[in-house]
């Protein structure tokens, strides 16, 4: 099952990430995962939060530009070759990965990966057919 992720555009200058986290804190929004990519003039903060609808509303009210997208999350054994084995399943299913990032979870011996793929529904179907199950937000929050 896919998870909704928010991509927030931030000017690449001091204080903008602070402004984002202040807004989330003020609205009681808890981040589950965070990745930041930068370019010369701006950055993109990709976040998974406990309440995506409330977060999207708070971002709009705070004058942030944000976009919702569907991503897939998988638990990966935290061992040599763990990610490679998962990627071999993506490769065999011919799933194109646009980007990915990792985050910490509470389950010992596991790493958690977020994948943005070209076609989320097709990827889910192909990977499920290969015996893989993506994580839900509830499963991430319990880990």
Phi, psi of 104 (to 5 degrees): -85, 145
Instruction: Write out pLDDT tens, residues 111-143.
Output: 889 999 999 988 888 888 878 888 988 888 876
Q: How many other C-beta atoms are found inside a 10 Å radius of the C-beta of residue 70?
A: 15
- Give this prediction's pTM: 0.88
Percentage of the residues of the chain whose pLDDT score is greater than 70: 98
Two tokens at 47? 């976040």
Residue 58 shares a structural domain with residue 78? no
Residue 63 shares a structural domain with residue 117? no
Q: Answer whether residue 47 is part of any domain.
A: yes
CATH of the domain at 83: 3.30.2130.10
Listed residues 35, 69, 103: the one ending a domain = 69
Q: Answer whether residue 133 is part of any domain.
A: yes
Q: Answer whether residue 142 is part of any domain.
A: no
Count of the separate structural domains present in the chain: 2
Residue 56 shares a structural domain with residue 79? no
CA distances from 97 to 58, 72, 117, 134 (A): 30, 10, 4, 15
Which domain does 117 fall in, by range? Answer: 71-137
Predicted local distance difference test score (pLDDT) of residue 106 = 67
């Amino acid at each position: 099952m896919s998870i909704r992720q928010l991509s927030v555009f931030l000017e690449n200058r001091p204080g903008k990430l602070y402004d984002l986290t202040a807004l989330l804190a003020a609205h009681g929004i808890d981040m589950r995962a965070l990745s930041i990519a930068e370019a010369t003039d701006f950055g993109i903060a990709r976040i998974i939060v406990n309440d995506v609808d409330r977060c999207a509303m708070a971002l709009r009210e705070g004058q942030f530009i944000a976009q919702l997208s569907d991503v897939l999350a998988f638990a990966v054994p935290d061992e040599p070759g763990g990610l490679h084995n998962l990627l071999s399943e993506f490769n065999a299913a011919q799933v194109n990965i646009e980007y990915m990032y990792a985050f910490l979870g509470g389950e010992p011996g596991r790493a958690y990966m977020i994948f943005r793929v070209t076609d989320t529904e097709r990827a889910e179907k192909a990977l499920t057919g290969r015996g893989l199950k993506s994580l839900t937000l509830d499963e991430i929050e319990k880990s």
